[in-house]
Amino acid sequence: MIPSIEWIDNKVKMIDQTVLPHELKFLEFEDFRDVAISIKLMNIRGAPAIGVAAAMGMALATIEYKELPKSEFLKRMEEAAEVIKKTRPTASNLFWAVDRIWKIISSYPDNPSSLSDLVVEEAKLMAQEDINVNKNIGKNGAELLEDGDVVLTHCNAGSLATVQYGTALAPVRSAIAQGKKISVIADETRPRLQGARLTAYELQYDKIPVNVISDTSSGLMMRLGKVNKVIVGTDRVTSDAVFNKIGTYLVALAAKDNNIPFYVAAPTSTLSLDETVDDVIIEQRDSTEVSNVLGKVQIVPDGVECLNYAFDITPFRLVTGIITEDGVYTPEELLKKYK
């Protein structure tokens, strides 16, 4: 799959994920405010991808403000950081990325113009690092997969959710590159259908076998012996749980009940191990995402308000292992290593 986001000639170029799988369309932005809107509207989505988008948004802001005196520059950059941080509340990577850029801004004593060059370079580096991290997740996760395995995944934690290669789909890509025969079952992932639209699109693009199922089918697929392993991505890992796309918890429960290993692919930029579940804001999105399929056909009676929580909480007791760029860990080992 081609990169979902790139920095080209002082512009941010991204795949518009809202029109996939029907159209492969690109958006280009020179204004950080437009990047913030694209995160909010989910033209770009997936925790690592929105982290890189946030960093590139900050880089665009430094270009816009670099002629200002340093104090004014800093004031405007604080406002830009706030705009970007307010786009989506749950994925750690967004805050991690803005904070990483902020460290450079606050520690650099020179003029805003040369600082802007540094921030642009850092944002580009973060994009490249994301690909490297994902390849290492792939290498570590591929060890868990055996020839012939069918991997069930929820939402899209693939190339499109990152800069390239993916997190949950990285072990699948790496295992296939090692010569193993692996196929994927993708939950459709209501209401935004990231599994049906995006996971299926990118796997088909890369000629990796994939079947899409309705979200309500995953338990039966496990019961029928059609799933060997579950691998999902994550938006935030706290000291007690994994936050991921709504529906992940139910998949984890079904996996436990059917003795199927449930793995979470998590770049370390997603770890927020000083927090517990009570510290995290679960994003609630517009009711119409649930009431109207893909914003079009209304499926509930007029006047009925739908509840639309975007993420849920999977407690550590349901997690077999967490695959990071450094290795595969039980939740207890993860806490020991990174906390």
235 annotated active-site:
yes
Selected from 53, 97, 119, 161, the binder of ligand MRU by CB under 6 A is 161
Least Å distance, CB 248 to ligand MRU, is: 7
Structure tokens at 144: 């868990």
User: Nearest to residue 327, comparing CAs of 163, 125, 143?
Assistant: 143
Binding mask 212-241 for ligand MRU (x = CB under 6 A): ---------------------xxx------
Tell me how far, at minimum, the Cβ of 70 lies from ligand MRU, in Å.
35
Q: 4, 116, 159, 162: which one contacts ligand MRU (CB under 6 A)?
A: 162
In whole angstroms, the minimum distance from the beta carbon of 154 to ligand MRU comes to 7
Closest to ligand MRU by CB, 161 or 254: 161
Quick check: 272 binds ligand MRU (CB under 6 A)? no
Angle value at C-alpha 240, between 235 and 246, nearest 5 degrees: 40
Site for ligand MRU in 78-107 (CB under 6 A): 91
Q: Are strands 292-293 and 321-323 parallel, antiparallel or unpaired?
A: unpaired
Residue 133 host element (H or E): helix 112-142
DSSP state of 196: I
Nearer Cβ to ligand MRU (36/91): 91
Q: Which of 55, 245, 247, 249 binds ligand MRU (CB under 6 A)?
A: 245
Tokens matching residue 128: 């490249």
Say how far apart CA 316 and CA 260 lie, in whole Å.
15
Name which position in 87, 194, 291, 324 contacts ligand MRU (CB under 6 A). 194
Binder among 43, 62, 167, 199 for ligand MRU (CB under 6 A): 167
Please report, as residue ranges, which positions from 26 to 55 form the binding site for ligand MRU (by CB under 6 A).
Answer: 45-48
Compute the least distance from the CB of residue 137 to ligand MRU, in Å: 9
Residue 66 C-beta: closest distance to ligand MRU, Å: 31
Instruction: Identify the CA nearest to 229 among candidates 315, 316, 142.
Output: 142
Q: With contacts defined by CB under 6 A, how many residues of the chain interact with ligand MRU?
A: 17
Which of 45/229 has CB closer to ligand MRU? 45
Helix, strand, or coil here: 181?
A: coil
Are 168 and 231 a contacting pair, CB within 8 Å? yes
C-beta of 112 vs 191, nearer to ligand MRU: 191
Q: Shortest gap between Cβ of 44 and ligand MRU (angstroms)?
A: 9
Nearer to ligand MRU, 119 or 155 (CB): 155
Residues 335 and 307: their CA atoms lie apart, in Å, by 33
Please give the Cα distance from 191 to 39 (Å, whole number): 17
Selecting among 235, 279, 286, 326, the annotated active-site residue is 235
- CB-CB contact of 124 with 158 (8 Å): no
Under 8 Å between Cβ of 153 and 185: yes
Evaluate whether 330 touches 242 at the Cβ level (below 8 Å).
no
Q: In whole angstroms, what is the distance from residue 152 CA to residue 144 CA?
A: 14
Give the catalytic positions in this structure: 235
Footprint on this chain of ligand MRU (rule: CB under 6 A): 45-48, 91, 155, 157, 161-162, 167, 194, 233-235, 244-245, 310
